[in-house]
Amino acid sequence: MYTKPSIPVFNLKTFLLSAALILLVGCSEDSNQGKDTRSADAHLNNSERYIKQGQYRPAILEIRNAVKKSPSAESIGALADVYLELGQYKSAQTLLEEQVVAYPALNYRLTQTYISLTKYFSAKQSFDAIDASSVEAGEYQLLKAKILLGTGNADEGYALLQSIKNQYPNDLDIQLAHFITAYKLGTPEENENNLLELVEQNPENPEALYTAARSRFLQKNYPEAEQLLMKALHQSTTPDVLTPLRSGILNLLSKTLTQMGRYADAVPFEKVLKDANPDASDVQAQLQEAITAIESGDIDKGATLLEKLHQDFPNMESAEALLGVISLEQGDADKASKLFQDSVDPETASPKLSAAAAIAELRLDRKGEALKILEKAASTNPENLHLQTLFGLTAITEEQYKDKGAQALEKAISLGTNELRAYSLLAAHYRQQGKPEKAKQTLKKASETFSSTPDQLALFGAYRHLKLNSEALAYAANLKQTQPQNEAGWLMTAAVNIKEGNTGNASKDLQKALALNNNSAYAWTFTGTNEMVQQNWAKAIPAFEKALRLNPSAPKLAQNLLAAQIKNSTDWTTIVNTFTAIPAEEQASLSHLSLLAVNAMSVGEIDTATNIVERIKASTASTAGQVRHFEIRLIDAEAKTYIKQNKISTAVKTLENGYKKFPDSPEVAILLGNLYLLQEDFNSAKKIHSDLVQKGHDVTATLFNADILIKQDKRDDAFTTLMAYWKTNATPSIGNAIYKVSLSLKQQLPEDFVAQWTKVDPGNYQPLLVQAMNAQQAGENRAIDLYESALKLNPTSIAALNNLAWLYQEDNKLFEADQLATRAVKLSPENAAVLDTAGYIKMKMDSAEAVELLERAVELAPNEKEIQQHLEQAQLRFN
C-alpha cells in the first residue's frame, strides 16, 4: 500500500526524466514489437522485482509493456503506484482520471492520489465510487479518516484513526497517519509516548524512522534526529531515481547537521540532492528575485524574470501563477486565464490565486468557468471571506447556482463582509422565494452594519427595489432621529417625494439636506432631478453642474447636465464651455468630451463635434482606438447631415474622402457602400464588396453582399449566400441576417440552423423565439419553456409576451396570462393580435374589460374572423 511521505520534495530532474522515460518506452515497444512474447503478468512480476531493488526506470518499462499487452485495473494501477512512489502525483492523477471510467476499481488509487495532492473534496467524490467490498477494511477506513481530516472534520477523522489504529496495530500506514495527527493535537507527554511507540514497533522501517526524525528535529533534539535519519538512510534502498522519501531523508539530514554546526558533514548529502536536481537552487533564486522585484514595485522586471523562468521551465506552476496575476493586474484577462488554467487548481491553490483565476474568467464574460473555480475554492476554504463573497455574488444571479450562492452570501455576512451587494442580493433572493421576513431581516442587518451616506442610500434603494416601502420609510425616519447631522434620511424622503410627484415636499427635504451638507453631490443631484421633473430646466442646470463639480467622474451626472442644457435650448458653445470649466482628472474630462461629441453629432452640430474630436485627440487619456472611433463617427455624422439636406453627391464625396483616410476601416466602407446602394449604384457597391473581401473582412463582406442582393430584389439569392457562409463561419451577425431575410421571404428556418444559432448567440432572444414559435405550431409542450427563456433575455418582446399569454390561458393559468397580455398591450397598444389575446383572456376571467379591448382589435383588423367571433362572444356575455 502506498502512503505519501510527510514532506514531499519537488524534483524537477525527476519530473523531466519521467517524461523522457515515457517517450523512451514508446520507442522501445515499437522496436521490439513481435519479439517480446512474455505475458502481461510476467512484465508486472518483473516490475515488482525491479521496484524492490529501487530500479524504477526498468520497472516503468515493464509496466508500460504490461499495459500495452493487457490494459487492466491491475496494470494501470501498478503504473500509478510508481508515479506516486516517485512523487509524480499529477502524472498519476492524469493517468487515473483518463482510465477510471473504464476501470472503476481505479477509484481507490485515484482517491489516494487526490489525498497526496491535498485535493480532499475530489478525494471524497472518488472515495464514494469505491466498492468497499473490493478493498481491505483497514485501507478503506484509513482513506475515509484522511478525507474527514482534510475536509475539516477533525474530531470525526481523529476518532476514526484511533479506532483503526487499535484494530490494525501492524499496519504502518495507519500507524503513521495516527501518529502525525496525534502529534498535532497532543500534549508533549503524549507525543513523546507516541513517538517511542512508533520507533519501537517499526525499528527498521525507513518511513517510520524518517517521521520520528522529523519530530525530533522539531524538538531541536538534533543528535537523536541524526541517528534516526542515518538509520533510515541505511534501511532504504538506493533508487535509480530520487524518491520523495529518499530526498526528504537527505534534505532533513543536511539541515540537522547544519544546525549542529557540522557543515562539512552536511556537504555530501547536499551534493547528492544537488546532483539529482542541479537547477533547483538557481530556479529558486530566480523566483525569489522576481518576487522581490514585484514586491518593490518593479513589475516590469518581475514579469521579465518570470517570463524567462516560464520559458526555461514551462511546467513551473509558481511562475505561471505569478505571471497570471501580473497579466490580470495589467488588464490582459485572456493571457491571465490561459496561465491560470495550468497553474491554479482551486482545490489546492491559495484563496487569492483562486479568486484571481475566477476574476479573469469573469472579465472574459465566462461566468460558467468562473463559477466552477469559485465553487471548488469556496468549498475548500469555507472560512475565507473573499472567496465566499465572490462566489456568492457571482452565483446568486444564476438559476442553477442560486441556492449555493445564497449559502455563500450568508457565510460571507457571518464572516463580516463589507460588500453591501451581498446583503441586497441575498435579500432579493429571499424576496423571490416568497420569504419577505428573511429579506427584511437581511436588510435590517445591513442597516446596522453600514454607516456611510453612499451605502445608506444604496440600502434605501434596495428596500424600495424589493417593494418594502414601509420598511424603507421607517429606515429613513430612524436615520433622521438617530443621526440628525446626516443628510441621508432627508435625501431618502426627498427621493420618495420626487418619485410620487410631491415636488414641493421634495424641495423642503432637499433644503434641509443641503443645510446639513452643502457639498453633498447626492443632495445637488436630487435637487437637479426635482427641478427636471418640474421642467425647470434653468434651475436644474446649476444643480447638476454643482453635483458634477463635486463628483466629476459620475457619467450619469454629466448626462443629466447635458440633458437639462439641451432642454433649456442652451447653445452648444455655452454647453462646451460649461463642461470644460469643470475641474476633472484627464480620464473624467475625456468622458465628458466623448459624451458631448456623440450628442453634437446626433443633432448635426458638425463644427462643434469637429472641435470636440480635436480636443479628444489632444487628450493624454485618449487612445489611438478612441480617436479613430470618433473620427469615423464624425465622417458618418457629416455625411448624414448632407443626406438630410438632400446633398447626396456631397455626402458621397465626404465618405469617399473618409474611405481614403481609413482604407482598412470596414465601418467607413460599409457607410459608403450603403450610400451607393441608396443611389442604386450597384457597380460602386460591388467594388466596396470586393475591397472588403480582399482585405479579409469576410463577415462584413458577406453581409454587405446580401444587402446588395436584397436591394436588387434577389432575396432568395441573399438567403442562399448567407446560409452557405453560415455552414463554415457561424457568427451572431450572420445568424441575425439570415433571420431577417427569412422573415421577408416568409420562410421557415431549418431546425438545425436555429439550434446552432442558439448556441452561437446565447444572449440573443430571437433564436429562442423562433424555436418557441415552431414548437407552438407543432403543438409541443416545450414552447412554454422556450418563450419563458426568450423573455428572460428580452422582457419587451411583443411576440413572446403575446404567444406565452395565449399558451398560459390554454393551460388555464389566467392570472399569469393576464399579466403578460397587459404588458404586451402597454408596449403595443395598436396591435390587433395583442389586443385580441388580452381581450379573450379578460373574457375568460369574467372581466367586462374584454369588450373594449376586442372592439379596438376589430377596428384595427376588421377582416379577421376569429377576432370578430371573440368580440361577439364577449358582447353576448357582458351586454
Dist CA 789 CA 793 (whole Å): 7
pLDDT of the residue at 312: 61
Lowest mean pLDDT among 30-34, 155-159, 533-537, 736-740: 30-34
Lowest mean pLDDT among 185-189, 282-286, 827-831: 282-286
Identify whether the C-beta of residue 141 lies closer than 8 Å to the C-beta of residue 162: no
**Structure-block grid coordinates of residue 148:** 474527514
CA distances from 608 to 589, 699, 780 (A): 17, 35, 58
Going by pLDDT thresholds of 50, 70 and 90, the confidence category of residue 309 is low
Lowest mean pLDDT among 1-10, 285-294, 340-349, 748-757: 1-10
Q: What is the CATH number of domain 1-135?
A: 1.25.40.10
Q: Is 820 helix (H, G, I), strand (E, B) or coil?
A: helix
- The mean per-residue pLDDT over the stretch 780-800 comes to 94
pLDDT of the residue at 690: 96
- Measured from the Cβ of residue 59, the count of other Cβ atoms closer than 10 Å reads 27
> Locate cell 537527505: which residue?
250
Measured in Å, how far apart are the chain's first and last C-alpha atoms? 89
**Structure-block grid coordinates of residue 496:** 420618495
**CA-based angle 491:492:495, to the nearest 5?**
85
Q: Is 330-417 assigned to CATH 1.10.150.120?
A: no
Q: Quick check: pTM over 0.85?
A: no
Query: Between 281 and 445, whose confidence is greater?
Result: 445
Identify whether the C-beta of residue 172 lies closer than 8 Å to the C-beta of residue 202: yes
pLDDT(125) > 70: yes
Mean pLDDT (the chain, rounded): 88
pLDDT of the residue at 17: 30
Identify whether the C-beta of residue 776 lies closer than 8 Å to the C-beta of residue 803: yes
Identify whether the C-beta of residue 547 lies closer than 8 Å to the C-beta of residue 524: yes
Within 13 A of 166's CA, how many CA atoms are on the CB side? 5
Q: Is 836 helix (H, G, I), strand (E, B) or coil?
A: helix
pLDDT of the residue at 841: 96
> DSSP letter string over 785-811?
HHHHHHHHH-TT-HHHHHHHHHHHHHT
pLDDT of the residue at 277: 65
Identify whether the C-beta of residue 37 lies closer than 8 Å to the C-beta of residue 302: no
Going by pLDDT thresholds of 50, 70 and 90, the confidence category of residue 486 is very high
Q: What is the per-residue pLDDT across 234-279, written as a single tens digit (0 to 9) for each?
A: 888 788 787 888 888 888 898 888 888 888 888 888 788 777 665 5
Q: Is 191-276 assigned to CATH 1.25.40.10?
A: yes
Going by pLDDT thresholds of 50, 70 and 90, the confidence category of residue 728 is very high
Dist CA 218 CA 212 (whole Å): 10
pLDDT(406) > 80: yes
Query: Between 91 and 546, whose confidence is greater?
Result: 546
Q: What is the per-residue pLDDT across 621-676, written as a single tens digit (0 to 9) for each?
A: 999 999 999 999 999 999 999 999 999 999 999 999 999 999 999 999 999 999 99
What interhelical angle do 503-516 and 488-499 show, nearest 10?
A: 160
- The mean per-residue pLDDT over the stretch 170-197 comes to 84
pLDDT(593) > 70: yes
- Measured from the Cβ of residue 164, the count of other Cβ atoms closer than 10 Å reads 21
pLDDT of the residue at 310: 66
Closest CA to 6 of 310, 232, 326: 232
Going by pLDDT thresholds of 50, 70 and 90, the confidence category of residue 311 is low
Identify whether the C-beta of residue 412 lies closer than 8 Å to the C-beta of residue 406: no
- The rounded percent of the chain whose pLDDT value lies above 70 is 93
> Locate cell 514532506: which residue?
7
The CATH 1.25.40.10 domain(s) of the chain lie at 1-135, 191-276, 330-417, 796-878
Q: Which CATH architecture describes the domain 796-878? A: Alpha Horseshoe (1.25)
Q: What is the per-residue pLDDT across 62-76, written as a single tens digit (0 to 9) for each?
A: 899 888 888 999 999
Name the amino acid, one letter, at 361. Answer: E
Q: What is the per-residue pLDDT across 547-560, written as a single tens digit (0 to 9) for each?
A: 999 999 999 999 99
pLDDT of the residue at 590: 95
- The mean per-residue pLDDT over the stretch 80-84 comes to 89
